[in-house]
Amino acid sequence: MSKYSMHLMVCGGNSCHASESDAIVWNLRDELEAKGLTDKVQVILTGCFGFCEKGPIVKVMPDNIYYVKVKPEDAQTIVEEHIIKKKIVDRLLYHDPKTDKTIGDAKHAGIFKKQLRIVLRNCGNINPENIDDYIARDGYQALGKVLVEMSPQDVIKVIKDSGQRGRGGAGFPTGLKWEIASKNKSDEKYVVCNADEGDPGAFMDRSVLEGDPHSVLEAMAICGYSIGASNGLIYIRAEYPLAVQRLQIAIAQARAYGLLGKDIFGTGFNFDIELRFGAGAFVCGEETALIHSMEGLRGEPTIKPPFPAESGFRGKPTNVNNVETYAAIPVIILKGAEWFSKIGTEKSKGTKVFALAGKINNVGLIEVPMGTTLREIIFEIGGGIRHGKKFKAVQTGGPSGGCLTERHLDIPIDFDNLVAAGSMMGSGGMIVMDEDDCMVSVAKFYLEFTVEESCGKCAPCRVGNKRLHELLNHITEGKGSADDLSRLRNMSQVIKDTSLCGLGQTSPNPVLSTLDNFMDEYVAHVKDKKCPAGKCKNLMEYYIIPENCVGCTACARVCPVNAISGQRKEIHTINPEVCIKCGACMEKCKFDAIIIR
């Protein structure tokens, strides 16, 4: 039992870390020392709480009070008011945009409702740099159970019976993948963790590694035992320094405790893990490209079969799963296949972690049972659309996914339902858009990303996506024609059918889904030469409403190209031939006299 009567848990996830959460920790400790309270109150730097929109966060336990948007200078107030005087600091509480009320226990805030945290069970509850914290929450018990009580076949059966599917995007059954690797005989096998998370707006795997690295190490060792491997490799982007640092600390601690290395638990089982760094290539999220990168080769995919389970790293049988897939394994082992299989839908068991981003009130990291609807995620957990705007679309699955609309809000989310709706689960990025977003520009943005990230090995992806991007450019610049819309669809289908790997096969999804769901916007761009959302610069025209203009000259004075004419106290006009559409005039006008049409 802890000697401390109170704990101050400070979020140390990546976004909070960037917002001086370290300074908050040191200031809290200094204040507690000055007040003689260090023997009663402990300050712990944790991983991500998930409520990223409101970070940095300080959680006071056992009071279960969450303070949001905390600054280093707030440390003195928290100690003096909450710790000493037992008074809640109202100004640091969460303000619910839906109810317009402050909430002391942020667990009652929308973002925490309807969540079931399995993968994220320890994030925000332990110090990720202290192995004892992980062990205190059943850490490494699953590995001990596997090595002492179960055969490799027993382990694989539990994972198969649980119904878990890989969370990296394809949704392949985890247990079946392990079974295939176990049956391929070799003098050496490898367990690989794919931590190359590069989707725009995605931060699920990174947050798990920053907040609970030991869960992944333990799961990789369990996988190694079940398939007959003694070597583990974590492929992680070098641009994630905090995750790398905490993994390095966790690996060193596990070795020191005898939980990695030789003769683990005295069973004769040997397993160790090393890190391999990627340079940030999105295509290396594909398992064969990832393996080539780890081997020092170009990160390019190869035709399958053979699959990595047969011939992977250095030509040896290799099992590749992503961070989220591994993080759930210890819990499945301890609680059983039946427990896990009761969560979720018939064909998609368990939970899914999503990174909520975009035009939504509660930006953050969430974990919900499969089968939760988009409406529940966006409007209950996510708190609805910012500034009372109207929901327009949600992009699921990152650049490989599609844009879903209001008519899809009540679809139970799982692997198959999202594909049927024209999108995909992907790794779990979820970007919400409102009425001000142009869906043609959104499709162009994602396609620009995949063009940049293509390895260039196959012509459909290398050349086809560039042609698609050129067509979208023409459309958003007002140079498109009705024929371009059929060209977009036909070319997208060819790229899907003929590309070598998943990057090319899914890259047209944003184009196809926006064509299906927002054809009226495409027609407006090519026929009317208008952007309904007012986002495409070449199709915008700034206009002064005569009846609203008072002739104050404020707009003319800020125009950098002198496109606005008119005398003082007279109606002004904008010359569209000269206007560069910078928006300075609209921002300066106090009379709502300038609009985009």
Per-residue pLDDT of 581-593, as tens digits, reads 899 999 999 999 9
Q: With left for phi above 0 and alpha for psi between -120 and 50, is residue 304 left, alpha or beta?
A: beta
Q: What token pair was written down for 233?
A: 């490799």
Look at residue 429 in the predicted model and tell me its pLDDT: 85
Q: Check residue 107 and give its pLDDT.
A: 60
Residue 73's domain comprises 6-109
Cα dihedral 312→318→323→328 (10° resolution): 150
452 and 556 both lie in a single domain:
no
- Looking at 497, 528, 559, the residue that finishes a domain is 528
- Residue 110 is predicted with a pLDDT of 64
Q: Note the pLDDT tens digit of each residue in 217-274.
A: 999 999 999 999 999 999 999 989 999 999 999 999 999 999 999 999 999 999 999 9
For residue 561, the domain's CATH number is 3.30.70.20
* Percentage, residues of the chain above pLDDT 70: 98
pLDDT level of residue 2 (50, 70, 90 thresholds): low
Does one domain contain both 317 and 220? Answer: yes
Is residue 179 located within the same domain as residue 309?
Answer: yes
Residue 186: inside a domain, yes or no?
Answer: yes
Which whole number is the average pLDDT over 291-296? 95
pLDDT, one tens digit per residue, over 438-477 is 999 999 999 999 999 889 899 999 999 999 999 999 999 9
By the 8 A CB rule, do 288 and 303 touch? no
Give the CATH number of the domain where residue 306 resides.
Answer: 3.40.50.11540
Q: What is the pLDDT of residue 108?
A: 57
Going by C-alpha positions, the residue among 469, 430, 474, 471 that lies closest to residue 447 is: 469
Residue range 112-126: average pLDDT? Answer: 91
Q: Give me the chain's average pLDDT, please.
A: 92
H helices within 336-409, ranges in order? 337-341, 374-375
% of the chain surpassing 90 pLDDT: 78
Which burial class, exposed, middle or buried, applies to 529 when counting CB atoms under 10 A from its CB (0-12, 13-18, 19+)?
middle
**pLDDT of 99 over the 80 cut:** no
**Do 464 and 359 fall within a single domain?**
no
Q: Is residue 109 over pLDDT 70?
A: no
The reported pLDDT for the residue numbered 55 is 84
Q: How confident is the model at residue 71, as a pLDDT?
A: 95
Domain end call among 502, 528, 554: 528
Phi, psi of 520 (to 5 degrees): -60, -35
3-state DSSP assignment of residue 105: coil
Same domain, 175 and 323: yes
Query: Parallel, antiparallel, or unpaired: how do β-strands 391-396 and 564-565 relate?
Result: unpaired
The pLDDT value given to residue 271: 98
Does a structural domain hold residue 79?
A: yes
Residue 202's pLDDT is: 78
| 201 has pLDDT over 80 | no
Is 215 part of a structural domain of the chain? yes
**Structural domain tally of the chain?**
5
Q: Is residue 475 in a domain?
A: yes
Q: Can you tell me the mean pLDDT for 191-208?
A: 88
CB 204 within 8 A of CB 324: yes
List the CATH number of the domain containing 69: 3.40.30.10
Q: For residues 82 and 439, give the distance between their C-alpha atoms in angstroms, rounded to a whole number.
A: 48
Residue-level pLDDT at 427:
76
Q: Is the dihedral of CA 110, 345, 426, 197 positive or negative?
A: positive
Q: Say how many CA atoms lie within 13 Å of 319 toward its Cβ.
A: 36
Most distant CA atoms of the chain, gap in Å: 90
Which tokens go with 313? 């790293």
Q: Where are the beta strands (DSSP E) in 440-593?
A: 542-544, 564-565, 573-574
User: Among 38, 40, 96, which residue's Cα sits nearest to residue 66?
Assistant: 96
Same domain, 161 and 302: yes
Asked whether residue 467 is domain-assigned, the answer is: yes
Is the Cα dihedral 436, 442, 443, 444 positive or negative? positive
Q: Are residues 362 and 301 in the same domain?
A: no
Last residue of a domain, one of 386, 419, 434: 434
Q: Is the predicted pLDDT of residue 425 greater than 90, yes or no?
A: no
Single-letter residue type at 290: L
- Look at residue 146 and tell me whether its pLDDT is greater than 80: yes
pLDDT band of 168, cuts 50, 70, 90: confident
- Residue keyed to tokens 């953050």: 364
Supply the CATH number for residue 403's domain: 3.10.20.600
CATH code, domain with 445: 1.20.1440.230
Contacts of 46 (CB under 8 A, 6+ apart): 9, 10, 11, 12, 123, 124, 125, 126, 127, 128, 211
Kindly state whether residues 235 and 314 are assigned to the same domain.
yes
> Which residue(s) pair with 365 in the sheet?
355
- 171 versus 208: the higher-pLDDT residue is 208
143 and 242 in a common domain: yes
Structural domain contains residue 123: no
pLDDT for position 424: 87
- Are 193 and 330 in a shared domain? yes
Residue 335 has pLDDT above 90, yes or no: yes
pLDDT digits (tens, 9 = 90+) for 349-379: 999 999 999 999 889 899 999 999 999 999 9
Helix (H) or strand (E) holding 134, with range, is helix 131-136
One-letter amino acid of 591:
F
52 has pLDDT over 90: no
Q: Tokens at residue 311, please?
A: 């011939």
What are the pLDDT digits (tens) for 25-37? 999 999 999 999 9
Closest CA to 50 of 170, 210, 157: 210
Q: Which of 550, 528, 562 is nearest to 594 (CA)?
A: 550
> Are both 68 and 181 inside the same structural domain?
no
The verdict on residue 578 lying in a domain is yes
Rounded Cα distance, 438 and 433, in Å:
9
Kindly state whether residue 257 falls inside one of the protein's structural domains.
Answer: yes
Give residue for tokens 């940030």.
Answer: 280
If DSSP codes are grouped into helix, strand and coil, which group holds residue 149?
A: helix
One domain, residues 170 and 80 = no
